[in-house]
Amino acid sequence: MSPQHLARAVPPASGDPRRGIVRTDAALAAPELAEVVARRGRAAVRTAVRAAQDRARQGEIAPDEVVAAARQALEDQRAATEVFNATGVVLHTNLGRAQLGPDAVDALVAASGCTDVELDLASGVRARRGRQTLDALSRRVPDAAGVLVVNNGAAALVLALTALAQGREVLVSRGEMVEIGDGFRIPDLLESTGVRLREVGTTNRTRLADYADAVTERTAAILKVHPSNFRVEGFTSEATITELATLGLPVVADTGSGLLAPDPALPDEPDAATALRAGATVVTCSGDKLLGGPQAGLVFGDADTVERLRRHPLQRALRADKLALAALAATLDAATTPTSVAIHADEAELRARAEQLASLVEGQLPVEVVPSAGRVGGGAAPGLPLPGWALALPESYADRLRLASPPVVARVEAGRTLVDVRCLPPDRLGEVAGAIREVASRA
Ligand SMILES: *Cc1c(COP(=O)(O)O)cnc(C)c1O
């Protein structure tokens, strides 16, 4: 054992009254911690107290700061910290993609106890899991006779190809061998399920004939992936779903971003209804991108194919939880979503919002309202500009705003911190201004 390992094996600290470090039982009884003991239990608080006693021994904190340090450490163990998205990127993967709307939030709370997720209350017998959500999906995409919800977009794609092509070959264009983020690549994901991918065509041009020439008796399906997070420009072409459907093989279309019907503001984004009408056998996409709902994977198709996916053993490992199902149903039935509102926001309205934010911090520091280029983000509509407005602050503010309460995640551009107002809820600008004032008062 190295000396460091030996040092770790020393029994945990237990107070040291001679050095002014509070004893563990006395700390647990302190009023500042008693309420935390009631909520979190003795064991968790004791662990935090011992860690704080250790820090006091090492001289990292003063001996009389043990209780406060333990309390802070326990507060820092929050499940998640709400942050304000001032990046101008509507679907920010690091910030959890889509913000849920009020109906979806209510649905989450309502579903947090016991629910009828798999029970028909009228007859008292077991019912199709999440049928309300499936019905809502069918209402929104009438072209799909079959619908299914799983954990996320990647799960939807894996399930579709495993059920349709395990042990066989799937054709995919070289221009659609996409990496979806954090080093995860669609080809690797699919090969991990026992599907063999056969690449056809070239990076910039793939024609129907490239697919037709590659078909053999081993071919089980054709995969069409929407290159959602990059764009190839210039001398390019890809075979369409309509063309691919003529080859007589199942066509799986991974549209990715979750648009259910065409959106004129997002002309290059594929949508589920159009893909099905063009002849796709199965369409897969995410629930927390352009759809604006919780993390989920959606599957659309004909009734028989979707039933085949639903009966596949893997489906049970990928099924959506009751909270996601509830939030998704409410999102689908809502008139709009925060995601859609942010993408379609009117530029003049954004400017007025930025000016309102400026007026709330004015006097404290020099502020300037400036144009700011937002993005859809989240692997959707790459290159589509979203002209908006921001509050410009000194560059050094970005780091400190992230540590303010509540945290504000802004964007640094050309030596300035831009607080882009596109994704800030208009009724919460006061809280954002409060965070900015907090940072300014310490600057
Ligand atoms: C985002 C995306 C995925 C992955 O979806 P998740 O919901 O993140 O699992 C797969 N394919 C495409 C084309 C995507 O855009």
Q: Mean pLDDT of all residues in the chain?
A: 92
> What does the pLDDT read at residue 193?
87
**Which tens digits make up the pLDDT trace of 247-294?**
999 999 999 889 999 999 998 899 999 999 999 999 999 999 999 999
Q: Is 224 left (phi over 0), alpha (psi -120 to 50) or beta?
A: beta
**Which tens digits make up the pLDDT trace of 414-435?**
999 999 999 999 999 999 999 9
**Which tens digits make up the pLDDT trace of 144-194?**
999 999 999 999 999 999 999 999 999 999 888 877 777 778 888 888 889
**Those residues with Cβ within 8 angstroms of residue 177's Cβ, 6 or more apart along the chain or in another chain:** 185, 186, 187, 199, 225
> What does the pLDDT read at residue 189?
86
> What does the pLDDT read at residue 177?
80
Instruction: Detail the DSSP E strand segments found in 203-276.
Output: 219-225, 251-256
9's enclosing H/E stretch is helix 3-9
pLDDT band at 1 (very low <50, low <70, confident <90, very high): very low
**Which tens digits make up the pLDDT trace of 202-238?**
878 889 999 999 999 999 999 999 887 767 777 778 8
* CATH no., domain 101-335: 3.40.640.10
Lowest pLDDT segment from 224-228, 318-322, 340-344: 224-228
The closest residue, in CA terms, to atom 7 on ligand 1 is: 153
Distances (CA, A) of 345 to 290, 340, 385, 387, 422: 14, 8, 13, 9, 7
Nearest ligand 1 atom to the CA of 297 is 7
Quickly list DSSP for 330-383: HHHHSS--HHHHHHT--HHHHHHHHHHHHHHHTTTS--EEEEEEEEEESSSSTT
> What does the pLDDT read at residue 157?
95
Region 327-356: mean pLDDT is 97
Question: Is a pLDDT exceeding 70 seen at residue 4?
Answer: no
d(CA 27, CA 389): 50
Q: Which fold has domain 84-93+340-442?
A: Aspartate Aminotransferase, domain 1 (3.90.1150)
> What does the pLDDT read at residue 13?
55
Tokens (6 digits) for 65: 């700061």
User: Which of the pair, 113 or 226, is modelled with greater confidence?
Assistant: 113
The closest residue, in CA terms, to atom 5 on ligand 1 is: 153
Residues within a 6 A CB radius of ligand 1: 152-154, 157, 180, 225-226, 228, 254, 256-257, 286, 297, 379
The letter for the amino acid at 50 is R
Domain extents for the chain? 3-76, 84-93+340-442, 101-335
CA of residue 179 to ligand 1 center, whole Å: 9
Neighbours of 339 (CB within 10 A): 27
CA of residue 237 to ligand 1 center, whole Å: 22
Question: Is a pLDDT exceeding 60 seen at residue 383?
Answer: yes
> What does the pLDDT read at residue 436?
96
- State the alpha helices, DSSP H only, in 79-177: 102-110, 131-140, 153-165
Tokens (6 digits) for 397: 């503010």
> What does the pLDDT read at residue 132?
96
pLDDT band at 6 (very low <50, low <70, confident <90, very high): very low
Question: Is a pLDDT exceeding 80 seen at residue 14?
Answer: no
Question: Is a pLDDT exceeding 90 seen at residue 15?
Answer: no
Cβ–Cβ under 8 Å, residues 88 and 386: yes
The closest residue, in CA terms, to atom 6 on ligand 1 is: 153
CA of residue 283 to ligand 1 center, whole Å: 12
Q: Please indicate whether the domains covering 84-93+340-442 and 101-335 agree at the CATH topology level.
A: no
265's enclosing H/E stretch is none
d(CA 102, CA 108): 10
> What does the pLDDT read at residue 391?
97
Give which of 427, 397, 426, 431 is closest to 413, Cα–Cα.
397
Q: Which residues pair with 16 in a beta bridge?
A: 21
d(CA 103, CA 90): 19
Region 399-425: mean pLDDT is 96
**Which tens digits make up the pLDDT trace of 37-67?**
999 999 999 999 999 999 999 999 999 999 9
**Which tens digits make up the pLDDT trace of 347-376?**
999 999 999 999 999 887 888 999 999 999
How far does Cα 82 stand from its chain's mean position? 14
Nearest ligand 1 atom to the CA of 226 is 13
85's enclosing H/E stretch is strand 84-85
Instruction: For residue 252, report the phi and psi dihedrals to the nearest 5 degrees.
Output: -100, 120
CA of residue 319 to ligand 1 center, whole Å: 16
> What does the pLDDT read at residue 234?
76
> What does the pLDDT read at residue 12?
54
Question: Is a pLDDT exceeding 50 seen at residue 10?
Answer: no
Kindly state the percentage of the chain with pLDDT values over 70.
96
Distances (CA, A) of 435 to 82, 394, 402: 13, 15, 9
Distances (CA, A) of 290 to 143, 298, 377: 19, 12, 10
Cβ–Cβ under 8 Å, residues 247 and 276: no
d(CA 314, CA 310): 9
CA of residue 257 to ligand 1 center, whole Å: 7
